[in-house]
Structure 1
Amino acid sequence: MVQMKSFTQAMLSQPRMDSLDNPTAYQVGLVLLGIGSMLVLSSFFALGFTGTFLGDYFGILKEARVTTFPFNILDNPMYWGSTANYLGWAIMHASPTGLLLTMVVALIYVVAILYEEPFTAEIYRQKSSQFHKRS
């Protein structure tokens, strides 16, 4: 929530983009915000608290890797949902600064995914192989 407040303050302190300052763009922003919120919230409900907040880094794993909604339609839905929230908010505020900051956020998420995805795949592969050894 602090990030969104800082993001909003950065946007509001800068000029608006005339081409985005219209009702259609505002509605597109609202749709992106709705989709992003749905992805973030459904990811949280699917992963639970520990799955969301680095439980896998401390050995607190689910029985198996989560593949239910929204993970069955999109890899890393929490990252992409959060990015959609930032993008929607930037469009709603007709903010070129917001668009630039959204690109920075997306880039950071892509880098995080490059490190996190192989780690997550490996820990669940190891858990599965340990399970099969015991069976």
Structure 2
Amino acid sequence: MGVAGAMERVAQGFDALAAVVLVIGLLFSVVLAVRAARRDGGRRGYLALRESFGGVLLLSLEVLVAADLIRTVAVSPSLESVAVLGIIVLIRTFLSFSLQVEIEGTVPWRRALTSGAVSIAQAARRPPDSD
């Protein structure tokens, strides 16, 4: 087995890892959701499931991108395969961006406006109420 064959096996390992991340992540997300639902109600359970499984999806997408990158660069480095990789990365990047916005409820460039540090700084700059 040559280098290309070994790299194909590595890429297949990354594909398998992404599948394992999805399965274990789903189970973990369900456990978190059930705990949250018992403690705080059904709505909080749904939100916990949505947030935790969204993170799992993001992680598995990143692992799949790594597999495609290894496969393209080490196994079949042709102009056509690099173009296909570029399209795949664009699609997965869009999916990751959409998932991130869905999970956090805000676009990345607005995230700083909703963070705790910015809120504290704004509160510190406000003049005290005059009674």
User: What is the TM-score of this pair, normalised by structure 2?
Assistant: 0.48
RCO higher in 1 or 2 (8 Å CA, sep ≥ 6)?
Answer: 1
Identify, as 1 or 2, the structure richer in helix.
Answer: 2
